[in-house]
Amino acid sequence: MILEGQPTRSIRRTADGAGVCILDQRQLPWEVRWVELRSADAAAVAIREMWTRGAPMIGATAAYGLAMALAEDGGDAALAAAHAMLVETRPTAINLRWALDTVRDAVAALPPAARAEAAFARADAICDEDAALCRAIGEHGLALFRDLHARHPDRPLNILTHCNAGWLATVDYGTATAPIYLAHDAGIPVHVWVDETRPRNQGALLTAFELRNHGVPHTVIADNAGGLLMMQGRVDAVIVGTDRVTANGDVCNKIGTYLKALAARDNDVPFYVALPYTTFDPATATGADIPIEERSAEEVARLTGPDETGRIATIRVTDSPALNPAFDVTPARLVTGYITERGVLARV
């Protein structure tokens, strides 16, 4: 997407092809800092500590991590060890395991000396495919947005989104944001209510950063404000990304998504989930079976941002014990439809 005026992907190979460049999303929006990862260990740290995040993005980063491991040692033991290390970095997004399994399966039958090049090629293909998948999600979502806007052509289409399912969470376009970008570029007046998304504020920091760079009108809101806006008729649709959709259609996404779905249902606001096939997990029966990542309580207890001098500072908002589940599960019954690269799958 557009970054500093230039079309930009959120991940790319290093100039020498031996590593991968990612944006350190912990520094956004205050600093655009590209980081070179040159080992599987570095990729694991970047995923675990959320230098880079978002289901498709952590899958792509891990795929390159596996390729870098094979460049050091192409043997079966090294392949298995790197896969095991990377797949454990974050438990919830299914894209991580999908990407690692895909690369492993692409190289397993090759001689050790040929595996690194093939792994890098598969990782490159995962990135190119993700960009195409997200673009297709955008196209199908655009058609949906046209229909929604036709109901109120006299005013902007008001969309609420939660967390960051944008181009920073994918290779390009995003999932939930792809229809927003394509609608904006097509001249449909869109306004986005951006949930700040405590505790890491991916909405206030990352989604708002993306929308500013692309010129999309938006308003950051407290996570708890969405229900009132829906009750007041100020939300035409909710669209979110996901980290895993199970066989029965349950949706695992950033903590707080479920509460938005409840408010949407109570106010007859359509609730859409945007996802590529790489986030669908038919092997998991229901949302109850998804491992929910629990992150450090410090993420709840602290806030980070620029102080009056512009220096990035961290303050504590509580000294009490805190609990930090990073995801929740929205039951399929609360989902209006799934926006995929093959079309919009409406729940009947």
Catalytic annotation, residues = 243
326 near ligand LNRAV4D5, rule: CB under 6 A = yes
CA distance 295 to 282: 26
DSSP 259-310: HHHHHHHHTT--EEEE--GGGEETTS-SGGGSPPPB--THHHHEEEEE-TTS
Q: Is residue 22 near ligand LNRAV4D5 by the rule CB under 6 A?
A: no
Whichever of 119 and 235 has its CB closer to ligand LNRAV4D5, that residue is 235
Pattern 235-264, ligand LNRAV4D5, x by CB under 6 A: -----xx-x---------xx----------
Our CB check for ligand LNRAV4D5 shows the closer of 61 and 253 to be 253
Least distance between ligand LNRAV4D5 and beta carbon 94 (Å): 10
Q: CA separation (Å) from 140 to 60, 280, 305, 340?
A: 23, 18, 36, 7
Sheet (strand 11-13) strand order? 11-13, 20-23, 34-37
Residue 96: enclosing H or E segment and its boundaries?
helix 94-107
Instruction: Examine residue 199 and say whether the peptide bond preceding it is cis (omega within 30 degrees of 0).
Output: yes
Which CB atom, from 61 or from 118, has the smaller least distance to ligand LNRAV4D5? 61
**Where do we find the tokens 């912990």?**
26
The answer to whether 61 contacts ligand LNRAV4D5 (rule: CB under 6 A) is no
Is residue 169 near ligand LNRAV4D5 by the rule CB under 6 A? yes
- For the CA atoms of 77, 82, 84, 87, the dihedral, rounded to the nearest 10 degrees, stands at -160
DSSP label of 324: -
Binding mask 195-214 for ligand LNRAV4D5 (x = CB under 6 A): -------x------------
* Strand pairing class (157-161; 34-37): unpaired
Write down the least CB distance from residue 161 to ligand LNRAV4D5, Å.
9
Is residue 339 part of the contact set for ligand LNRAV4D5 (CB under 6 A)? no
Contact residues for 54 (Cβ-Cβ < 8 A; gap 6+):
93, 164, 165, 166, 168, 169, 170, 241
Asked if 299 and 324 touch (Cβ cutoff 8 Å), the reply is yes
- Residue closer to ligand LNRAV4D5 (CB basis): 53 or 260: 53
54 binds ligand LNRAV4D5 (CB under 6 A): yes
Residue number with CB closer to ligand LNRAV4D5 (80 or 288): 288
106 binds ligand LNRAV4D5 (CB under 6 A): no
What residues form the annotated binding site for substrate?
53-55, 90, 202, 253-254
Contact positions toward ligand LNRAV4D5, by CB under 6 A?
53-56, 163, 165, 169-170, 175, 202, 240-241, 243, 253-254, 326
